[in-house]
Amino acid sequence: MKFGDLVMSVASIAVIFALITFPLDVVFVSALGLGGYEVGVFVSFFLSALIGGYIFARKIWEARRENITKITVLWAALVMLLAIIVPGGLAHWGLASEEEFKASYPDTTLSTAEWTNWEMMYLDSFMFLIVVISLVLGFVGLYVGSMLRRPAKS
């Protein structure tokens, strides 16, 4: 698989992810309440990789494990960038981080620099979780998707 094919497969997974995330979020939030948001995102990670694996199955089968690994790592790198950028645009991200800290350590007060360090750790934990999820669900989705479209035996 050439590098251009890897980029195209990751871009396709990203576009598929963008197109299916909101409808799945709506479905799961309607069924499970606001906690369903995470379920919708996780299902979107899996389904976008599954569809990407199906679309690029012929290219993936050339060197299957290696190609799935390359696509998954590139996908996780893109997701990591988004995980770093997105919280900056959310007005309540810092408040949620502060709330969690105060719930865990109610008698502790922090300086501004310490709050910044806490929020960075909070962001790091979010990024870690999202990258691990994208690696696992991406690999499994690509593997299963490529299995659904096996090359014909000659």
Question: Domains in the chain: how many in total?
Answer: 1
Q: Is residue 154 part of a domain?
A: no
DSSP H helices, the chain, are 3-32, 36-55, 57-60, 64-85, 93-104, 112-148
Number of Cβ atoms within 10 Å of the Cβ of 100:
13
Question: Does 153 reside within a domain?
Answer: no
For residue 90, being part of any structural domain is answered with: yes
Please report whether residue 113 resides in a domain.
yes
> Is 109 part of any domain?
yes
Torsion angle defined by CA atoms of residues 64, 66, 72 and 73, in that order, rounded to the nearest 10 degrees: -170
Tens-of-pLDDT digits for all 154 residues of the chain?
Answer: 788 999 999 999 999 999 999 999 999 988 888 888 889 889 999 999 999 999 998 888 888 889 999 999 999 999 999 988 988 888 888 888 889 899 989 888 889 999 889 889 989 999 999 999 999 999 999 999 988 887 666 5
Of 71, 18, 11, which is closest to residue 45 (Cα–Cα)?
18
Q: List the domain range (segments joined by +) for residue 99.
A: 3-148
